Amino acid sequence: MEVINRYITIKNHIDAVPQHSDFELRSSSLSLSLDPASDEVIVKNLYVSIDPYQLNRMKSYSSSQKSSEFAVAITPGEDIDAYGVGKVVASENPNFGKGDIVAGLLKWGEFTVVKPGGMLNKLDPMGFPLSYHVGILGFSGLTAYAGFFEICKPKKGEKVFVSAALGSVGNLVGQFAKVLGCYVVGCTGSKEKVALLKEKLGFDDAFNYREEPDLESTLQRYFPEGIDIYFDNVGGDMQEAAVSNMNINGRIAVCGVISEYTDREKRAAPSMIDVIYKRIKIQGFLAGDYLNLFGDFLSTTCDHLRTEKIQPLEDISDGVESIPSALVNLFRGQNIGKKIVRIAEE
* Contacting positions for a copy of itself (CB under 8 A): 56, 63-64, 67-68, 71, 232, 235, 239, 244, 248, 254-257, 260-261, 264, 267-286, 289
Closest distance of CB 318 from a copy of itself, Å: 31
The Cα 240–Cα 245 span in angstroms is 9
Closest distance of CB 245 from a copy of itself, Å: 9
The Cα 241–Cα 218 span in angstroms is 9
Closest distance of CB 159 from a copy of itself, Å: 16
Is the CB of 216 or the CB of 346 nearer to a copy of itself?
216
Is the CB of 271 or the CB of 322 nearer to a copy of itself?
271
Is the CB of 271 or the CB of 325 nearer to a copy of itself?
271
Residue 334's contacts (CB-CB under 8 Å, 6 or more residues apart) are none
Is the CB of 58 or the CB of 197 nearer to a copy of itself?
58
Answer whether 177's CB lies under 8 Å from 154's CB.
yes
CB atoms < 10 A from the CB of 346, how many? Answer: 14
Q: Is the dihedral of CA 143, 144, 145, 148 positive or negative?
A: positive
Q: Give 114-117 contacts, CB < 8 A, sequence gap 24+.
A: 114/40, 114/41, 114/42, 114/43, 115/39, 115/40, 116/38, 116/39, 116/40
Is the CB of 235 or the CB of 312 nearer to a copy of itself?
235
Is the CB of 181 or the CB of 277 nearer to a copy of itself?
277
Closest distance of CB 264 from a copy of itself, Å: 7
Closest distance of CB 62 from a copy of itself, Å: 8
Answer whether 273's CB lies under 8 Å from 202's CB.
no
Answer whether 219's CB lies under 8 Å from 227's CB.
yes
The Cα 140–Cα 78 span in angstroms is 25
Closest distance of CB 272 from a copy of itself, Å: 4
